[in-house]
Chain A
């Protein structure tokens, strides 16, 4: 009995504490970058050769969640019902043509659970505030088809212009936050202490279904994407859809980095 007592006391006194509640909770650095091939000309799904000279994406936040992605938008909540395992809440204007790491201003927080769903929040401020003129996507470049090359540019925002009409019985069915949150992005990643979160944006995929012939040529000789859904051409709508695409555009992972 005495020996057991001594052992017990020693374990507590020397170890201080025995056991764990499991898991881990830590901070990490995060960065975003463009896809390595984004600055090279590419052919989109409609057969146009596109050369991007500017592709800036305003990222408000990045989240990872344990929930398994579903194709059904099951609720009207801005956030998932599952447990969030990582977040980067500082905004960043990402140059999606640069493959160089562009660090987020503040570190993120994570647990060590495996994430199945990623979210990229495309917002300039309050995700619930309808009146937000922040430009979320700013692109420019040239497009060539059949020997004709024309410059294009577009600036898309997600504000009052994206507020959808709702049925009177369910006025909260389509909150503006659902327009701003790109989700679910399929991931399979477990945050690791000491590693960095990497958000990779491939702007080429945003143009996958853009038929540039649907764009109107401006007096300045430039093809313009329209930011007003009510007057937008299908090409403008498809670029907006591409901006919010949950596959191919955004990739989230953890990469080795200097330990924190």
Chain B
């Protein structure tokens, strides 16, 4: 894991500090420029809760302002009495802002403001009240009883009169991240897009351009990620983290860097940052295609419960809790889920729990404690041969081997602290992760169990892999950041480190189809892995419109690997060295004894420079150039004693432009990016290994366009990616990678035009549309195109919400994943084997309906 995903809370911290500077306070510490706080465009005056007083009453509040400018949450900082507090909250919730921006991009923000109840002038005119958002927090005026003489006067609504004073503090949150590295640095607040049906947290990745997900391993199996021309497998080429805690599993036998995101409860994801390329010195191992960083948080405070029932016996129970009055980063949530699954052999069940507590000490220190637990169990249909489906031997939603499936678990705990002292900000995080995974997959049927001379004669016993991985990870990360002024501009410097140690036990056996017992041990590795890296990142601004962000990162990867099954053959079989059928063999050769195991250790370093040049903004346009190198460490099974570890190195460059503008309550962000990426050792899927193995060099070039449009009514996120990914030597296309990916997420919401029992219900519609072009497959083949629509409709009335979600709205029968390779699933026992490549696929889910009822108590909307 690396700095690719600098902890979000650290970002919040730095961002908050920077805004303090931007707002002209006396603090000298700032981390990033280009942050503009929200500005009021429409207010609503508060109503006197009782009789107007003879002096102003000011209620200080903290407002959370969405990217569409609406107020998501009102927190009373200092009470002026329950009536005033309530009236102030009601008024402030109606205010509209021009959203805060960071580098010209609208972001959610939290600001201090005050609601002012203006006293009537000199006991003559009727009393009136006014709003004063974004005003300095004044010395708290003493609460006062309303003036008796005004008591009889109904409190009229006063025209808007925002106070002209500058804010004293603005805390931008929700889209907080390290400084932008260019046009491919996508930070996406989930906001109303949460209403688009999504199966899990992995699905949120589709909000970033060029992402396509497949899954042939079952509901509990991590999704295979295609990102902007990369086949990143299950995260091997995407550095993934949640709240700064690494998700990639070093040394995982199924894929070094395997990233199972299913433990993340989607409702607790507040925002997602996807950086498509190795352009940030904070990015570390596995950031080949890029990195994905989930920020968790719960904006809807109080206690929420949600029950879902749907097609194919799907049931889900979710509870969320966020103590009212506390930060959205203090929350707890848990879910139980089970499904019978569509088609054959797709049943699954899982449970997850996540919790976090945020505490403050003094003005500048924030602590977080968080933890997560997850467990799952599932079956998988795997891949089926297209010719078997065509012949009717297997149904479209059938399976070749019903023994496929798996289970897994994850426990993690982390703590971090962020503080500042003088001109420096500091951040420190510790994390501990315990992960277990079992996976049973059969890609090739009855093909790989060849007869060896030392084995008793046997027929093919079956190719079901039974892999098991146990991993314990301990790690820490931290940084210090400072800044100063030169050339009339703010200059910044950050240095940081990342340290991670993993102990991994990995075992893979093959299981006989007839008996269900393992007959061969392929791999039995026990690895101690370490990755320690340091980085430096500077932001140099020679002028107001030119920023050079440059830095470098260096990592040392060390391996100590015990292969407990290093000998699987007997060089000189004899009666004194009988081979038997065992897998891991000790033997006698020439009187010398040989144990079956072998230990290997090695270490290597990698230096990765990265830079981004930002120009602008010029009339709402920001231009950027970015370049960087990244790395993917190799699988422990490749480690040889004292042989330098071969890395997969990536070099990426791009040029892009971002247009960001707010039109009153409407904000628009549009991007266009041309990119090129080269990897010297790409991953190539191997059906015989059941995973990807190192292949040759590849280069991809392409273009991405993306749009985010938000206002109070609509939230639209759409993107298009065109890419060509080819091998360096043959210039042939890299198989399986989609060259066209189009995705649109749309959410609409408005109050309904009726108010039963005095309360207005809120309705919403959401649609997610995906199009994936015909993907290149081996042997000059092409896959089918994919077009799917998912939708939902919801009505919220007071504390209750009813949602109907439909996935695959058109009930398209499509192939989610397609592969060409050799397999042998004989139609009848003993039939001649199929040894020529054939088409295989994993079926996409048919139309499914889900009905959810949720209730929220305790704090209402925030």
Known A-B contacts A17-B782, A18-B724, A126-B830; A76 and B453 likewise in contact (beta carbons under 8 Å): yes
Q: How far is the CA of A19 from the CA of B512 in the complex (A)?
A: 41
Of the candidates A9, A87, A169, the one having the most CB atoms from chain B within 10 angstroms of its own CB is A169
Let me know if B451 and A172 touch, CB within 8 A: yes
Task: Mark interface residues in B777-816 (1 if CB within 8 Å of A CB, else 0).
Answer: 1111110010000000000000000000000000000000
Residues of B contacting A91 in the complex (Cβ-Cβ under 8 angstroms): 832
Residues of B contacting A129 in the complex (Cβ-Cβ under 8 angstroms): 459, 830
> Which residues of chain A from 1 to 42 have any CB-CB distance to chain B below 8 Å in the complex?
5, 8-9, 12, 16-25
* B658 vs chain A, min Cβ distance (A): 15
* A144 vs chain B, min Cβ distance (A): 39
Residues of B contacting A75 in the complex (Cβ-Cβ under 8 angstroms): 450
Q: Does B642 contact A (CB under 8 A)?
A: no
Q: How far is the CA of A128 from the CA of B830 in the complex (A)?
A: 8
User: Which stretch (B113-121, B211-219, B499-507, B728-736) binds chain A?
Assistant: B728-736
Q: Does A235 contact B (CB under 8 A)?
A: no
Let me know if A169 and B573 touch, CB within 8 A: yes
Known A-B contacts A19-B724, A78-B450, A84-B835; A128 and B779 likewise in contact (beta carbons under 8 Å): no
Let me know if A8 and B722 touch, CB within 8 A: yes
Q: How far is the CA of A87 from the CA of B776 in the complex (A)?
A: 24
Let me know if B773 and A16 touch, CB within 8 A: yes
Known A-B contacts A21-B778, A77-B451; A171 and B457 likewise in contact (beta carbons under 8 Å): yes
Of the candidates B575, B724, B835, the one having the most CB atoms from chain A within 10 angstroms of its own CB is B835
Q: Does B686 contact A (CB under 8 A)?
A: no
Residues of B contacting A176 in the complex (Cβ-Cβ under 8 angstroms): 457
* A187 vs chain B, min Cβ distance (A): 15
**Smallest Cβ-Cβ distance to A113: which chain B residue:** B779
> Which residues of chain B from 647 to 681 have any CB-CB distance to chain A below 8 Å in the complex?
672
Q: How far is the CA of A12 from the CA of B721 in the complex (A)?
A: 10
Q: Does B319 contact A (CB under 8 A)?
A: no
> Which residues of chain A from 85 to 121 have any CB-CB distance to chain B below 8 Å in the complex?
85-87, 89-91, 108-112, 121
* A49 vs chain B, min Cβ distance (A): 37
Q: How far is the CA of A218 from the CA of B830 in the complex (A)?
A: 36
Residues of A contacting B776 in the complex (Cβ-Cβ under 8 angstroms): 17, 19-21
Of the candidates B820, B829, B831, B839, the one having the most CB atoms from chain A within 10 angstroms of its own CB is B831
Q: Does B82 contact A (CB under 8 A)?
A: no
Q: Does B739 contact A (CB under 8 A)?
A: yes
Let me know if A21 and B780 touch, CB within 8 A: yes
Q: How far is the CA of A21 from the CA of B727 in the complex (A)?
A: 9
> Which residues of chain B from 682 to 740 have any CB-CB distance to chain A below 8 Å in the complex?
703, 722, 724, 726, 730, 732-735, 739-740
Q: Does B156 contact A (CB under 8 A)?
A: no
Contact of A79 among B450, B454, B722, B733 (CB under 8 A): B450
Q: How far is the CA of A85 from the CA of B837 in the complex (A)?
A: 8
Let me know if B832 and A61 touch, CB within 8 A: yes
Known A-B contacts A5-B703, A20-B733; A172 and B774 likewise in contact (beta carbons under 8 Å): no
Q: Does A125 contact B (CB under 8 A)?
A: yes
* B830 vs chain A, min Cβ distance (A): 3
Q: Does A60 contact B (CB under 8 A)?
A: yes
> Which residues of chain A from 170 to 184 have any CB-CB distance to chain B below 8 Å in the complex?
170-173, 175-177
Q: How far is the CA of A86 from the CA of B822 in the complex (A)?
A: 11
**Smallest Cβ-Cβ distance to A86: which chain B residue:** B836
Task: Mark interface residues in B578-611 (1 if CB within 8 Å of A CB, else 0).
Answer: 1100000000000000000000000000000000
Q: Does B487 contact A (CB under 8 A)?
A: no
Contact of B833 among A23, A79, A169, A170 (CB under 8 A): A79
Known A-B contacts A20-B732, A79-B835; A128 and B740 likewise in contact (beta carbons under 8 Å): no
Residues of A contacting B730 in the complex (Cβ-Cβ under 8 angstroms): 22
Let me know if A12 and B773 touch, CB within 8 A: yes
Q: How far is the CA of A159 from the CA of B573 in the complex (A)?
A: 27
* B732 vs chain A, min Cβ distance (A): 4
Q: Does A63 contact B (CB under 8 A)?
A: yes
Q: Does B574 contact A (CB under 8 A)?
A: yes
Known A-B contacts A109-B838, A121-B832; A20 and B457 likewise in contact (beta carbons under 8 Å): no
Residues of A contacting B822 in the complex (Cβ-Cβ under 8 angstroms): 84
Let me know if A19 and B837 touch, CB within 8 A: no
Q: How far is the CA of A126 from the CA of B577 in the complex (A)?
A: 32
Q: Does A259 contact B (CB under 8 A)?
A: no
* B822 vs chain A, min Cβ distance (A): 7
Of the candidates B722, B781, B836, the one having the most CB atoms from chain A within 10 angstroms of its own CB is B836
* A62 vs chain B, min Cβ distance (A): 9
Q: How far is the CA of A82 from the CA of B778 in the complex (A)?
A: 17
Q: Does A123 contact B (CB under 8 A)?
A: yes
* B336 vs chain A, min Cβ distance (A): 43
Q: How far is the CA of A195 from the CA of B835 in the complex (A)?
A: 20
**Smallest Cβ-Cβ distance to B722: which chain A residue:** A12
**Smallest Cβ-Cβ distance to A59: which chain B residue:** B832
> Which residues of chain B from 475 to 533 have any CB-CB distance to chain A below 8 Å in the complex?
none
Residues of B contacting A9 in the complex (Cβ-Cβ under 8 angstroms): 703, 722
Residues of A contacting B781 in the complex (Cβ-Cβ under 8 angstroms): 21, 25
Q: Does A143 contact B (CB under 8 A)?
A: no
Q: Does A186 contact B (CB under 8 A)?
A: no
Known A-B contacts A87-B836, A175-B457; A125 and B778 likewise in contact (beta carbons under 8 Å): no
Known A-B contacts A12-B739, A17-B773, A23-B779; A85 and B457 likewise in contact (beta carbons under 8 Å): no
Known A-B contacts A5-B672, A121-B832; A169 and B578 likewise in contact (beta carbons under 8 Å): yes
Residues of B contacting A18 in the complex (Cβ-Cβ under 8 angstroms): 724, 739
**Smallest Cβ-Cβ distance to A88: which chain B residue:** B832
Q: Does A198 contact B (CB under 8 A)?
A: no
| B-to-A contact residues, CB < 8 Å | 450-460, 573-575, 577-579, 672, 703, 722, 724, 726, 730, 732-735, 739-740, 773-774, 776-782, 785, 820, 822, 829-839
| A-to-B contact residues, CB < 8 Å | 5, 8-9, 12, 16-25, 60-61, 63, 75-79, 84-87, 89-91, 108-112, 121, 123, 125-130, 166, 168-173, 175-177
Query: A22-B780, A170-B573 known; 19 other A-B pairs, CB under 8 Å?
Result: A5-B672, A12-B739, A16-B785, A19-B776, A21-B777, A23-B779, A25-B838, A77-B451, A78-B450, A87-B832, A87-B834, A87-B836, A109-B838, A111-B836, A169-B575, A170-B453, A170-B454, A170-B579, A172-B453
Closest 5 A-B residue pairs measured CB to CB? A126-B830, A61-B832, A128-B459, A25-B779, A77-B450
A–B Cβ pairs within 8 angstroms, 5 of them: A21-B777, A21-B780, A23-B779, A24-B779, A171-B457
